[in-house]
Amino acid sequence: MPQQVVHRRFTLTQSFSALGLSAELTRVVAEQGYTEPTPVQAQAIPLILEGRDVLAGAQTGTGKTAGFTLPLLQRLATMPARAGATAQPRQRVRALILTPTRELAAQIEESVRTYGKYMSLKTTLIYGGVNINPQIDALRRGVDILVATPGRLLDHLQQKTVELSNVEILVLDEADRMLDMGFIRDIRRVLALLPAKRQNLLFSATFSEEIRKLADGLLHNPAMVEVARRNAESELVAQRVHPVDSWCKRDLLVHLVSSGDWQQVLVFTRMKSGANRLSEYLCKAGIEATAIHGNKSQPARTRALAGFKNGTVRVLVATDIAARGLDIEELPHVVNFELPNVPEDYVHRIGRTGRAGSSGEALSLVCAEERPLLAAIEKLLTRRIEKQVVEGFEPGTTPAPAVTTPAPRGSHDGNRRGAGPGHDGRARAPAKAPAKAATPPTRPGAPSSPARANTSAAHNPPRAPQRPRADGGAATAALFRGPARRGS
């Protein structure tokens, strides 16, 4: 299917009214403190107002939510309801916005309510993890714009509490993540219930062959909007790798947060169990932290995110699925405690900072076992990431624990490929080691408990006396090529 790639000219002095938005929308945009559209908004809004199908690719934090929300509101407010609509007026869903996660759905619905405050359009939010009955009541009272996650939407469709035969505009946001999370069958079931004639908007942070196949079957003569190169990371994000032994990662994180006096840090782990243990370790070190992942109830996730935003929680430890779409203004620090198995997820992770014109910092704590993952990420970015050894945490200088707790199976978040180091950042001890015992040095910023408090007694059995590594650490340090620079 041929696609028109659109790169419309715009200037930094261009106003939202120049894009064709109504006075009601430009008024509320000004009230929110925005005076100039972002590149994705400047390109997408006129196309959507024209009624075109759009395939939009933009890095996270570029304002793409407003890029589809503002023109969607205007089209619904100015277009008459579809002729021959089958449902009762109060039950007609005119626009459907599908998102992969609860947090993203809530943020989009909040944006729709904010920008539509001067319009008489009703919005409803439905997602899983909470009581379905209040959602049923809201749907019965009538809805124009429905923001939903795929699973809970199918629950409502099965119970016949929602009607989609009159949808005029469909938005798939974070489409790449929905495919990665295995929602493609759910999406196809929903698409089968929509009218054939409708406007389709597909937004994705990255493009893959799967996304293009979905677009080919969904979009009709679409305009393609791109404001960043494929799978591009934000230019506003300073990226750096700290090589470190896996069993020292937690102490290094404590040191970085404490010595830098970081007040708001988003930390990524691969596993739900690892997120829990890391947040507990940080709390014991005197750093306010909490975890957010798929096993948490929705109220607990909401409280954790609220505490992180209002400053009562300094460190939010999250898995990829839970953190997808989190919109936190001016988030200064993102830390990859463990590198993701899928390189594109690295782009999503670091995109949580450096948003809306603000600069940010993305640090990755990388052990020797993660070197192939780092190589894959650098290949995707087509550049090397700066590596800096933190003084006191040089790889190969601290003996590995002699005993570790194996990672439980079946606790992985999402559909991920490959395997990496242990879920809590520790590595398995060498099979053989000299008999001479050694006591590891005390790490700056680490909890003041015996044996560096490297593990929690609640999760780890007593271990044998620690032994120095058989290779003296030379092999580990050699894995990170190039001159290492020291820093704090």
What domains, with CATH codes, occur in the chain?
Answer: 4-226 (3.40.50.300), 237-413+422-487 (3.40.50.300)
Q: CA-based angle 209:210:214, to the nearest 5?
A: 115
With bands split at pLDDT 50, 70 and 90, how would you rate the model's confidence at 360?
Answer: confident
389-435 pLDDT tens trace: 999 999 988 888 775 555 554 444 443 333 344 434 444 344 444 44
| The pLDDT of residue 64 | 86
User: In angstroms, how far is CA 247 from the centroid of its own chain?
Assistant: 26
- pLDDT above 50 (res 91): yes
Helix (H/G/I), strand (E/B), else coil: 437: coil
Please name the residue ranges forming H helices in 172-297: 175-180, 184-191, 209-218, 249-259, 272-284
Task: Choose between 209 and 363: higher pLDDT.
Answer: 363
User: In angstroms, how far is CA 392 from the centroid of its own chain?
Assistant: 32
Share of the chain above pLDDT 90, in %: 45
| Residue 375 φ/ψ, nearest 5 degrees | -60, -40
- pLDDT above 50 (res 487): no
Query: CB–CB of 385/374 below 8 Å?
Result: yes
131-142 pLDDT tens trace: 999 999 999 999
Q: What is the rounded average pLDDT for all residues in the chain?
A: 78
| Residue 394 φ/ψ, nearest 5 degrees | -65, 135
**Average pLDDT estimate for 325-344:** 83
- pLDDT above 70 (res 471): no
Bridge partners of 97? 147, 171
**Average pLDDT estimate for 311-330:** 79
User: In angstroms, how far is CA 233 from the centroid of its own chain?
Assistant: 13
With bands split at pLDDT 50, 70 and 90, how would you rate the model's confidence at 325?
Answer: low
Task: Choose between 148 and 102: higher pLDDT.
Answer: 148
> Tokens in use for 82?
């579809």
| The pLDDT of residue 330 | 72
With bands split at pLDDT 50, 70 and 90, how would you rate the model's confidence at 477?
Answer: very low
220-252 pLDDT tens trace: 999 988 875 444 555 678 899 999 999 999 999
Query: CB–CB of 374/366 below 8 Å?
Result: yes
| The pLDDT of residue 324 | 62
| The pLDDT of residue 380 | 85
pTM summary value: 0.59
> Tokens in use for 226?
């791109």
Tell me how far apart the alpha carbons of residues 144 and 137 are, in angstroms, rounded to a whole number.
15
| The pLDDT of residue 295 | 83
**Average pLDDT estimate for 353-369:** 81
**Average pLDDT estimate for 197-207:** 88
- pLDDT above 70 (res 17): yes
**Average pLDDT estimate for 277-289:** 95
Q: Cite the beta strand spans of 87-244 per DSSP E.
A: 95-98, 123-126, 145-148, 169-172, 199-204, 223-226, 237-243
| The pLDDT of residue 8 | 43
Q: Name the nearest CA neighbour of 64 among 380, 355, 361.
A: 355
